[in-house]
Amino acid sequence: MTTLNEDVKSGLPQGEASRRNIASRRRKGAIWRTIFLSATIFGLIALSLLIYNVANEVFGYVAIEYAVDPATLSDKPLDELNKDELVAVLQGNMRKNAFRTLENEKPMANRSDSEVYDLVVERVLKPQTLETWTLRDSWFNKAAIDAQVASDFPEAKLEFRSWISTSFLTTPMSSDPLRAGVRTALLGSLWMIAITILFAFPIGVGAAIYLEEYATDNRFNRIIQTNINNLAGVPSIIYGMLGLVIFVRTLEPITSGRMFGADSGNGRTIVAASLTMMLLILPIMIINGQEAIRAVPLSLRQASYGLGATKWQTIWHHVLPNALPGIFTGTILAISRAIGETAPLIVVGASTFIVTDPDGPFAKFTALPIQIYNWTSRPQPEFAHIAASAIVVLLVMLLSLNAIAVVLRNRFSKRG
Amino acid sequence: MTEKQTDTAQYTLVVRNMNVYYGAFRAINNVSLNIERNKITALIGPSGCGKSTVLRSLNRMNDLVNGARVEGEVLFHEQNLYANDVDAVEVRRRIGMVFQKPNPFPKSIYDNIAFGPRINGWKGTKSEMDDLVERCLRQAALWDDVKDKLKESGLALSGGQQQRLCIARALAVEPEVILMDEPCSALDPISTLKIEELMMELRQRYTIAIVTHNMQQAARASDYTAFFLMNDQRAGELVEYGPTGDLFTNPKDKRTEDYITGRFG
């Protein structure tokens, strides 16, 4: 390439120097590109490791010893028996008194098939785990596992087990890891999130509207704004302390349900936990709401005011509908955070062992993160497997709640 | 008093000694201007000379700008728009506005028109509203383009159609004055011409004030022209105001002549 005017001395590189200069600039770009790509790959590796670790614990071989060999109980495999046959098995293998006690608790006629099946397992088979293996071992070291079982546990049966199953989702907490489930924790988490949204959404959006649309730029409002921004970064355990003092102790008559005729003894209830979570996510929701409102174009407001709309009409008909997708995005983020929080729940006193379903906002409860925390801190290896299963449940719940919010957001942003 | 009465007979808006401040900065210095009934008044001048500020002060849109303050009087039917007992909401209904960039609501064409009447407490049947929407769209010369797609989004229209939709929307609240802030600057020449023709039509029923950067447009499509310029303190001042023909062919002020002949600005 020749330059336009060869005689003029230019500060820019010419000819060969110019080509080298361009090549060097391209190289710099390529280096940065590689760095960004490796950052992405690093993230992918971290994610894959997480999934691998969880899956590794959720599936695998288990050596189980039964009090009675299942094959001797009936001609057919147990899970193919109908209810009457199962009752017969139960009656034939239990002491009469014990069976009568069961019948008195709830007549066999009123129990469902799966309840009777569970009883057979619990009262007759009495399975005991002797040893568990991870998915990796189960896949690659099957021979070693077989050898170990043959030498160490000749009585035991080797089964491939998925620790996560429908019965894991539908049975309550138990001290026996084979029979423990996350039903109570799952319901507790859902109740808590529902009530948290119920309180946090209107308050968060309301505060965002006030700060963005009505608050004038004075010292007082600037202090409020700065504080909200800072509160978004406060460690969650501090909110837990706040919740303990305010909701669990001071507002006990309300949070225990005494004022509403549903006394649960003390303030360690779903409502208290939800209100604490509300405090935790309000700053995030307000900041995101403000950003969404600020992003509504000025031209739209002007058009509305220009037709003689009042401030409130402009907010209601134009600002809010257009800010709603952004507000939903903020809510998704906030809820994702609330679902996974453990520390404030420990402080406000979620129960670590509870088998009754939460039946309302004033019930005692536990939540998935608490359950996971509790199980991971036990020494027996079986609990590691069910903790991993509970993590899967938590992640699936998180993803499905997010999916709902994304669908809502898309529906609102398509309108008009 | 007699002077005032003659004012209002002939003039829709009378601006007296208006100063506009943004915070401590004086953006407009002592502007007085009479806007004639059923005429098109063009405000011209170089960028930053305050013509848009003057226009927005005529229907109190400047109230929405933080720190904006207006001194002096803007008389509309002998009533000072900046008097304490005047509600800006009422002012903006009777003095409508069309903006630089077409800004239809992200709603259907029908709802774009119906929004203004609805928020202003319109009481009437569905079919009366249908009639109103049709009337406004016809006045804005848009009816034939959109009569089959009233339920479609206003954003689906072309730029020129969007701007006419904005004009139709402004007409729906029955204003007396329509302020236009560079309504054609985002449009192609053909759309611009359509808007100008539309202004000529609307002049019979409405008073129009238009800010424009395009001097040909002012010369073509206005009855009166006001020329603004910044003074040494960067505040906008009214240099010359008169019938468009006179101002363009025989400017009284040297600065006006320099500007319209393209010698500066």
Give B265's DSSP letter. -
Residues 6+ apart with CB under 8 A from A95: none
A322 touches chain B (CB under 8 A): yes
Strands B40-44 and B224-230: parallel
Are A306 and B59 in contact (CB < 8 Å)? yes
CB pairs under 8 A between A and B: 68
Question: Which bin fits B150, alpha (ψ -120 to 50), beta or left (φ > 0)?
Answer: alpha
**Is some CB atom of chain A closer than 8 A to the CB atom of B93?**
yes
CA distance A62 to B215: 88
- How do the domains of chain B map onto residue ranges? 2-260
Q: Which residues of A touch B59 (CB under 8 A)?
A: 306
CB contact, 8 Å: B45 with chain A? no
- The answer to whether the CB atoms of A303 and B104 lie below 8 A apart is yes
Neighbouring C-alpha atoms within 13 Å toward the C-beta of B210: 33
Cβ contacts of A361 within 8 Å, gap of 6 or more: A191, A195, A257, A269, A270, A271, A274
Measured between CA atoms, the residue of chain B closest to residue A303 is B103
Strand order in the sheet with A128-132: A128-132, A59-65, A157-162
Cβ neighbours of residue B195 closer than 8 Å, sequence gap 6 or more: B160, B163, B164, B167, B183, B184, B187
pLDDT at B99 > cutoff 90: yes
* Residue B185 touches partner A, C-beta closer than 8 Å: no
Does residue A235 sit in helix, strand or coil?
coil
Closest-CA distance of chain B to residue A313, Å: 7
The answer to whether A347 and A240 are in contact (CB under 8 A) is yes
Instruction: Report residue B3's pLDDT band, with 50, 70 and 90 as the boundaries.
Output: very low
Among B93, B99, B172, beta carbon nearest to A303: B99
Cβ pair B92:A307 closer than 8 A: yes
Interface test with A, best of B55, B61, B64 (most A CBs within 10 A): B64
3-state secondary structure of A127: coil
Q: What is the pLDDT of residues B52-97, one digit of tens each?
A: 999 999 999 988 888 899 999 999 988 899 999 999 999 999 999 9
Instruction: Please name the member of A297, A307, A416 whose beta carbon is closest to the beta carbon of B173.
Output: A307
Reduced to 3 states (helix: H, G, I; strand: E, B; else coil), residue B187 is coil
Nearest to A242 by CA among A273, A266, A265: A273
Looking up tokens 């008194």 gives: A97
Chain A residues touching residue B108 (CB < 8 angstroms): 416
Give ipTM to 2 decimals: 0.90
B64–A317: do the CB atoms touch at under 8 Å? no
Q: Long-range contact list for A376-381, CB < 8 A, 24+ apart?
A: A380/A177, A381/A132
Window 180-219 of A: residues touching B by CB (8 A cutoff) are 217
Domain spans in chain A, listed from the N-terminal domain onward: 61-161, 183-414
A306 vs B96, B107, B120: nearest CB = B96
Name the 3-class secondary structure at A262: coil
Q: Which residue of B has its CA nearest to A314?
A: B119
Give the residue on A whose Cα is nearest the Cα of B58: A306
Q: How far apart are the first and last CA of chain B?
A: 40
* Cα–Cα dist B183/B210, whole Å: 8
With an 8 Å Cβ cutoff, are B105 and A300 in contact?
yes
* Range A346-379 burial, b when 16+ CB lie within 10 A, else e: bbbbbbeebeeebeebbbbbbbbbbbbbbbeeee
Residues of A in contact with B170 (CB under 8 A): 306-307
Interface contact flag, B66 A217, Cβ < 8 Å = yes
* CATH of segment(s) B2-260: 3.40.50.300
Compute the distance between CA of residue A339 and CA of residue A342 in angstroms, rounded to an integer: 8
CB distance A277 to A192 below 8 Å: yes
Please tell me the distance from the alpha carbon of residue B144 to that of residue B135, in angstroms, as a whole number.
Answer: 12
Residues 6+ apart with CB under 8 A from A32: none
Q: Do the chains contact at A322 and B106, CB–CB below 8 Å?
A: yes
Average pLDDT in the B104-121 region?
Answer: 93
Using the Cβ of A305 and the Cβ atoms of chain B, whether some distance falls under 8 Å is answered with yes
User: Looking at the DSSP assignment, which residues form a beta bridge with residue A65?
Assistant: A128
pLDDT at B1: 40
Yes or no, beta carbons of A308 and B173 under 8 Å apart: yes
Chain A nearest-CA distance from B94, in A, is 8
Query: CA of A232, closest CA in chain B: separation in Å?
Result: 28
Q: What pLDDT tens digit does each residue of chain A (416 aa) get?
A: 555 566 667 788 888 999 999 999 999 999 999 999 999 999 999 999 999 999 998 998 888 888 777 777 777 777 777 778 888 887 777 777 888 887 788 787 777 777 777 777 777 778 888 888 888 888 888 888 888 888 888 878 888 888 888 888 888 888 888 888 888 899 999 999 999 999 999 999 999 999 999 988 889 999 999 999 999 889 999 999 999 999 988 888 888 888 887 777 788 889 999 999 999 999 999 999 999 999 999 999 999 999 999 999 999 999 999 999 889 888 888 888 898 888 899 888 787 778 788 888 888 888 999 999 989 988 888 888 999 999 999 999 989 888 888 888 888 776 54
pLDDT at residue B9, as a whole number: 64
Residue of B nearest to A213 (CA): B64
- Is the CB of A301 less than 8 angstroms away from the CB of B92? no
**Chain A residue closest in CA terms to B153:** A416
Q: Which of B92, B101, B152, B179 to mutate to test the interface with A (most CBs of A within 10 A)?
A: B92
Q: How far is CA B265 from CA B213, B232, B235, in A?
A: 11, 15, 15
Give the closest-approach CA distance of B265 to chain A in angstroms: 28
Using a CB-CB cut-off of 8 Å, the residues of chain A touching B171 are none
Task: Give the gap in angstroms from C-alpha A220 to the nearest C-alpha of chain B.
Answer: 17
Helices A15-58/A381-414 angle, 10° precision: 120
Whether residues B93 and A300 touch (CB distance < 8 A) is answered with no
User: Residue type at A382?
Assistant: E
A283 vs B265, higher pLDDT: A283
CATH class of domain segment(s) A183-414: mainly alpha
pLDDT at position B186:
85
Give the Cα separation of A162 and B224 in Å (integer): 85
Considering only the C-alpha atoms of chain A, give the largest distance between any 2 of them, rounded to a whole number of Å: 114
User: Would you list the DSSP string of A316-370?
Assistant: IIIIHHHHHHHHHHHHHHHHHHHHH--HHHHHHT--SS--SPP-STTS----HHH
User: Which residue in chain B is spatially nearest to A299 when comparing CA positions?
Assistant: B103
Query: Cα(A144)–Cα(B144) distance, rounded to whole angstroms?
Result: 83
Interface of A with B in 215-254 (CB under 8 A): 217
Cβ contact, residue pair B89, A303, below 8 Å: no
pLDDT at B78: 86
Which tokens go with A50?
């997480």
